[in-house]
Structure 1
Amino acid sequence: MSKTRVAVGMSGGVDSSVAALLLQQQGYEVVGVTLRVLPDVDGAFDAENDPSVVRARAIAEKLGIEHHVANCSDAFTGEVLKRCHADFSHARTPNPCCYCNRFIKFGWMMDYAKSLGADFLATGHYVRIEEVNGVRRLLRGRDPGKDQSYFLFWVPDERRNHVLTPLGTYVKSEVREIAEQNGFVNAKTGDSQDICFDIYGSQYTEFLKDRFGEMTRPGRFVDEKGKVWNTHDGFHKYTVGQRKGLGVAIGVPAFVKHVDPETGDILVTGDKSSVCFDRVEMVNCEWHGGAREVGTTFRAEGMVRYRQRAVGCEITIVDTNKAVAVFDEPLFAVTPGQCAVFYDGDMVLGGGQIV
């Protein structure tokens, strides 16, 4: 009887490496896949010597498994980079990890895994996927400091049915210990989170502008009385709730309250409470465990940014794509473009993109 074949997305980091080891120990036939996501600008990517590829290949050789480098740069450009560019152009602050998980890791890479004959795709995410009432559901990982369920809310049910996440019941220290015990070369390396943007440094918005064209305009910092306090050279550099780096001295700490993409003006305020909102509107919603009927209302706990404390709320389904959440208390810096994700205990119910 042949073993169940699993493709593991191997970034070269310790998490995905240990995920591959654990699955192999559980009796699966494991094959490693390392994605080339970024377009090769000025020879920036060298498949033979790229550090992530080298580390992933070394682990694959140690485990005695196949290893493939898959070029998904075109898909990444269209589904992640261009979406981020469009968000910035409309004064939204995108969450590239949520885009990447939905369209690339559990979209493109899952299709690639199937082309290799894999029955499942596995990753090193710290989340649990468990059967609840006969349905495979997404739950928070055991390690509260590493839980990544927020970033996976957009992965549809039909995709999640073919996903394994062996690290969901581990904490990070245990994963590093396993790596060290097995002599992995990356046992003490830093996390590879957001590695797809590291090659361009922290100014990836400038990379987006250079590649896809202008996405912003200069403007003014103005207060709620219309007084102009300063100017800026591009609104894409600022986000709701931002306090540092504004170059605005109004006598008290200033916060960004609103960004107007039409005029380029940025509304600032010294009243932090005015940047807190209890009503959140969402589009591009994804609900787990079946569709939600339009007009239905239900209770949940929600968060509008990663690692924020979950707060009780009431959600109303407006249509198949839209929903509104009213929170029990105001939340700071509800930011257009970011994602609101909702839970029932540890179980993810779904969420959407904030407008």
Structure 2
Amino acid sequence: MIKKRVAVGMSGGVDSSVAALVLLEQGYDVFGVTLRVLPPLANSGATPYDPEKDESVLRARAVAKRLGIEHFVAVCDDAFTERVLKRCHDDFAQARTPNPCCYCNRFVKFGWMMDFALEHGADFLSTGHYVNVKEVGGVRRLFRGKDLAKDQSYFLFGVPDEALARVMTPLGGMEKPDVRALASKHDFENASASDSQDICFDIYGNDYTEFLEGRFGAMTRPGNFVTEDGKILRSHEGYHRYTVGQRKGLGVALGVPAFIRSVDPATGDIVVTADKSAVSATEVRIENCVWHGVNPATGSAYTAGDTFECEGMVRYRQRPTRCMVKILEGGCALASFEQSQFAVTPGQCAVFYDGDMVLGGGWIR
């Protein structure tokens, strides 16, 4: 019997390393792929990219060698630039707060890397995400992971069904302490390494807006903080530094806590309010929607005009809230929540669930 071949996206972290280990122990023919997404900025004076000096590549390679599996470095900076960086730049320019992980998962990790994996003979692609993929009605569907504190299903809502059909998620039934224990048992050097956040942007420091401007040019304009009745409070250097609902770091005084209510990209003005309820909404319009399987209310394909009840989240780690979703024309939808949602932020994602199963979602308009 020929073993199924599985490509594992290996970031150099403990999660993807253990994913490769688990699949290998389950009898699959495993190989590792480490993506390199960010070359040095043009005219930055930085040295050319050298995988031999890339810590993530070296860690992934060391684990692959320990496991006795092949390892590839796949440079996909062009795809990452087009599908993630430019989208983030455009979001900032239109006063939206981008969610680069949702873009990356849909278009790069389970898009570009999926194609790379298939070209190298893989039957499936695996990552170290804490999610589950299970077959429902003949279709592989995305579910929350067992470790709810680490669940990443929110960020994977945009992965289409045709890609999910080839996705394996060996950590979906595990919890983080068990993953670290397994890594320690096998003497992985990254067993106790801290978790990475936005690792794709680490090489440019904490403020990735700086390299977005360095690569694509200015994306926002200066303006003023103003009250709801138009009173100017102070100036700012660019609205990309702020987001709807933000309270800290505004540098304005209303006598009570102030929140950002809205941003006008045409003028650069940021409207602040002392009324927290003014930053909340019960209706959320979303665009560029991705839906999975069939409409749970009709049992058939999602169609404009359809409605269904479910639970929704307008940000990561939020407690899901009951809502009614109406499918609109043009890949849009309208979600009406039972409870008002604080700081519904354009550019972020609204994701909808039936229990632990992801129904789909889209980008908040």
TM-score between both structures, scaled by the size of structure 2 = 0.96
> Structure 1: how far apart are the matches of 2:147 and 2:254?
42
> Residue 66 in 1 paired to residue 70 in 2?
yes
State whether residues 314 and 325 of structure 1, in contact with CA within 8 Å, keep that contact through their aligned partners in structure 2.
yes
Question: Is residue 2:90 matched to residue 1:83?
Answer: no
One-letter amino acid of the counterpart of residue 92, structure 1: R
Residue number in structure 2 paired with 1:196: 200
Q: Does 1:132 align with 2:142?
A: no
* 2:338 pairs with one of 319, 328, 335: 328
Output the CA distance in 2 between the equivalents of 1:225 and 1:246: 18
Instruction: Provide the C-alpha distance between the structure 1 equivalents of 2:337 and 2:261, rounded to a whole number of angstroms.
Output: 19
* Structure 1 segments of 4+ aligned residues over 6 angstroms from their partners: none
Describe the superposition over 1:98-126 as per-residue Cα deviations: whole angstroms up to 9, x where unpaired. Answer: 00000000000000001110000000000
- Does the aligned pair in 2 maintain the 1:281–1:354 contact within 8 Å? yes
Indicate which of 208, 214, 222 corresponds to 2:226.
222
Displacement of 1:192 in angstroms is 2.8
Corresponding residue number in structure 2 for 1:27 = 27
Cα shift readout 1:83-105 (whole Å, capped 9, x = no counterpart)? 00000000000000000000000
**Equivalent residue for 1:278, pick from 276, 282, 288:** 282
Distance 1:180 1:209 in 2: 41
Give 1:200 shift: 1.1
Partner-residue secondary structure (3-state), 2:53? coil
Aligned match of 2:36: 36
Alpha-carbon RMSD: 0.9
Do 1:4 and 1:28's aligned partners in 2 also have CA atoms closer than 8 Å? Answer: yes
SS of 1:70's equivalent in the other structure is: strand
Q: CA deviation at 1:44?
A: 6.5
Q: What letter is aligned with 1:138?
A: L
Aligned counterpart for 2:303 among listed residues 293, 299, 307? 293
Q: 2:329 aligns with which of 319, 322, 335?
A: 319
Partner of 2:148: 144
Aligned to 2:298: none
Cα distance in 2 between the residues matched to 1:158 and 1:193? 28
Amino acid paired to 2:269: D
| Secondary structure at 2:245 match in 1 | coil
CA distance in 1, matches of 2:248, 2:197: 24
Flag structure 1 segments of 5+ consecutive residues without an equivalent: none
Q: Name the residue aligned to 2:164.
A: 160
- Partner-residue secondary structure (3-state), 1:48: helix
State the aligned residue count. Answer: 355
The alpha-carbon distance between structure 1 residues 84 and 65, as it changes in their structure 2 partners (threshold 3 A), is same
Secondary structure of the residue aligned to 1:18 is: helix
**How far, CA to CA, are the matches of 2:197 and 2:25 in structure 1?**
25
Superposition deviation, residue 193 in structure 1: 3.4
Residues 285 and 320 of structure 1 are in contact (CA less than 8 Å); yes or no, is this contact kept in structure 2? no
Secondary structure in 1 aligned to 2:363? strand
How far 1:320 sits from its partner (Å)?
Answer: 4.6
Q: Which residue of 2 aligns with 1:121?
A: 125
Which deviates further from its counterpart, 128-137 or 79-88?
128-137
Letter in 1 for 2:292: H
Corresponding residue of 2:5: 5
Q: Give the equivalent residue in structure 1 for 2:297.
A: none
Matched with 1:57 is: 61
Q: What is the deviation of 1:49?
A: 1.7
Counterparts of 1:267 and 1:69 in 2: how far apart (Å)?
46
Query: Shift of residue 202 of structure 1?
Result: 1.6
1:247 maps to 251
* Cα separation, 1, equivalents of 2:179 and 2:91: 36
